[in-house]
């Protein structure tokens, strides 16, 4: 595992070098004295939670939920390993908490700041909780570049789906449910 990391890093460097091009003359950071934006300040907190997760032995991801007034309502980090729960992603934990504890109107005004773009499981939960906005640091594509070649994501495992079947019987409990 560890021997694959340097090559993954070098691929990131190549990619970053390639995308920078001559336009900005190779600077790694934007020029000037620009202070972090409000989003970036929250993202730095999410990234710190990611680092804390890794130190605890969990996958390195963290998130926080911020209301329309900029108040941090709740923080979470990944605890998949230490809790033995495959769904213990921080975004999912925050979406579940928000749906239980907050009104729909409040949820629609929230921003979920997260160290990495949410996975499909979490994206669905965020949508179901009707959290208004997501701000993320690493994109899914950028995360992929940090993984060894051939790495298979947990949400890309091969699962066989068979169906549909028994339409009339299966549809009966749903008759008239949706209005």
Question: What does the binding site for Zn ion look like in residue numbers (CB under 5 A)?
Answer: 89, 119, 121-122
- C-beta of 119: minimal distance to Zn ion in Å? 3
Which secondary-structure segment (H or E) carries 127? helix 120-129
Cβ 89 to Zn ion shortest distance, Å? 3
Closer by beta carbon to Zn ion, 37 or else 82: 82
CB nearer Zn ion, residue 28 or residue 131: 131
Q: Provide the CA 159 distance to its chain's centre, in angstroms.
A: 22
For the chain, the distance separating the N- and C-terminal CA atoms, rounded to the nearest angstrom, is 52
* R_g (Cα) of the chain, nearest Å: 20
Nearer to Zn ion, 67 or 117 (CB): 117
Q: Which helix (H) or strand (E) holds 106?
A: helix 104-108
Least Cβ distance, residue 118 to Zn ion (angstroms) = 5
Rounded CA-CA distance 47/61 in Å is 7
Please state the closest distance from residue 7 (CB atom) to Zn ion, in A. 26
| Complex with Zn ion: residue 11 or 59, whichever CB lies closer | 59
């Amino acid at each position: 595992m560890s021997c694959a990391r340097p090559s993954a890093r070098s691929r990131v460097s190549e990619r970053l070098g390639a995308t920078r091009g001559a336009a900005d003359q190779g600077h790694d950071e934007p020029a000037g004295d620009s202070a972090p934006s409000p989003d970036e300040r929250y993202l730095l907190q999410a990234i710190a939670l990611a680092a804390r997760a890794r130190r605890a032995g969990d996958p390195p991801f963290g998130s926080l939920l911020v209301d329309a007034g900029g108040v941090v309502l709740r923080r979470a980090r990944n605890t998949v390993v230490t809790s033995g729960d495959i769904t213990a992603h921080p975004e999912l934990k925050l979406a579940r908490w928000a749906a239980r504890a907050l009104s729909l109107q409040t949820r629609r005004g929230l921003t979920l700041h997260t160290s990495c773009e949410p996975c499909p499981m979490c994206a669905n939960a965020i949508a179901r909780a009707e959290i208004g906005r997501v701000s993320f640091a690493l994109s899914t594509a950028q995360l992929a570049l940090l993984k060894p070649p051939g790495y298979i994501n947990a949400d890309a495992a091969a699962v066989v789906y068979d169906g549909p079947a028994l339409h009339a019987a299966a549809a009966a409990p749903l008759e008239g449910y949706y209005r």
